[in-house]
A and B are shown apart, each in its own frame.
Chain A
Amino acid sequence: MLETTSSLPKAAPSGLRGLANPTRFLALVDATLPWLIGITALVFAFGLAQALFVAPEDYQQGATVKIMYLHVPSAWLSMMGWTVMSIAALGTLVWRHPLADVAAKTAAPIGAALTFLCLVTGSLWGRPMWGTYWVWDARLTSVLVLFLMYLGVIALWHSVEDQARAARAAAVLTLVGAVNLPIIKFSVDWWNTLHQPASVFRMGGPTIAPSILIPLLIMAVAFTLLFFTLHLAAMRNEILRRRVRSLLMQQAEAAQRD
């Protein structure tokens, strides 16, 4: 086996290229993860306290507006998850960044779970407000389609044995999906406005009062931190999983030779 020899030590590349080395990335995650977990927990605690105890009730919806503090951040994150996957997809296809595959694969289940949370909280919010667990409202429908697309990407990752191939296929699908998401959103909007529901519910007043907006933003930040914390931890797991796999393959090859 050819070993590359170099008498001079190479300077470590900086920036994203510097993170290309999985070992360095793992070291980075090991160092920063405890801090991230701590900050996430703190922001969540503060946000929940604000949302549940401090924020006022909506003059139309009463206390049920408190569901919004879960529903809206998870909706934003469901889209952010696909954005992260799309950037990772570009990393795989265009820049061939080694960790892009890992980033893409691990973002999908987290994004899917948050999309599911958005759907369920929306449904639970809809029941008291609209009288039904599900409405083919433009936004709910778009999120449902997004959820289906997440599941499709996850299915693709698990259908292809060779992870490098799976990464490229998933990257293409993610980018096609990214292009489609605004189209789907627009077309579902159109489809819904032609069949306006009998009663249209509006959030209390034309603008969201700061006393409600600020807890919402804090919760959004909390959820975002949660996403990135989980994502980095999951990336670490995936790198370790691939090491296990290559070691097992090494062992199988050695057994074959003997």
Chain B
Amino acid sequence: MTFLGIDLGNHAGFIIASYAVAAVIVGGLIAWVMADYRTQRRKLVDLDRRGLRRRSASARSEGQS
């Protein structure tokens, strides 16, 4: 069987499945890391807006005011 111009032979399904699983797992890892980043950033912005800052961050902003 030919796929994308390559002749994948009799067991094409297994080869395609392997690469598909790899794409899902790697994609899943990337998606998890990216989503987690956005979640943490969002929470930090939210907390910052509520006035909760780390001591060093608040010292910096107080020093400026």
Say yes or no: B30 contacts A120, CB within 8 Å.
no
Say yes or no: A230 contacts B29, CB within 8 Å.
yes
Chain A residue nearest in CB terms to B40: A240
Distance in Å from the Cβ of B22 to the closest Cβ of chain A?
Answer: 5
Say yes or no: B14 contacts A67, CB within 8 Å.
yes
Say yes or no: B44 contacts A226, CB within 8 Å.
no
Q: Which residues of B contact A237 (CB under 8 A)?
A: 33, 36-37, 40
Say yes or no: A63 contacts B36, CB within 8 Å.
no
Bits for B7-45, please: 1 = Cβ < 8 Å to A, else 0: 111111011011101100110111011101100110110
A-B contact number at CB 8 A = 95
Chain A residue nearest in CB terms to B35: A237
Q: Which residues of A contact B32 (CB under 8 A)?
A: 109
Known: A53-B6, A247-B47, A251-B52. A67 touches B18 (CB 8 A): yes
Q: Which residues of A contact B14 (CB under 8 A)?
A: 64, 67, 124-125, 127-128
Cα-based distance from A66 to B8 in the complex (angstroms): 9
Say yes or no: A247 contacts B15, CB within 8 Å.
no
Known: A64-B9, A116-B25, A230-B30. A243 touches B44 (CB 8 A): yes
Instruction: Please tell me if A84 contacts chain B, counting CB pairs below 8 Å.
Output: no
Instruction: Please tell me if A154 contacts chain B, counting CB pairs below 8 Å.
Output: no
Cα-based distance from A244 to B43 in the complex (angstroms): 7
Known: A125-B18, A234-B36, A250-B52. A63 touches B11 (CB 8 A): yes
Closest A-B pairs by Cβ, 3 of them: A240-B40, A128-B11, A63-B9
Q: Give B residues with C-beta under 8 Å from A.
A: 4-12, 14-15, 17-19, 21-22, 25-26, 28-30, 32-34, 36-37, 40-41, 43-44, 47, 52-54, 56
Q: What are 22 A-B contacts with C-beta separation under 8 Å? A: A52-B4, A53-B6, A63-B7, A63-B8, A63-B12, A67-B14, A109-B32, A113-B28, A116-B25, A120-B25, A121-B21, A121-B22, A124-B14, A124-B21, A125-B18, A230-B30, A230-B33, A237-B37, A243-B40, A244-B44, A247-B53, A247-B54
Q: Give A residues with C-beta under 8 Å from B.
A: 23, 52-53, 57, 62-64, 66-67, 70-71, 74, 109-110, 113-114, 116-117, 120-121, 124-125, 127-128, 226, 230, 233-234, 236-237, 240-241, 243-244, 246-248, 250-251
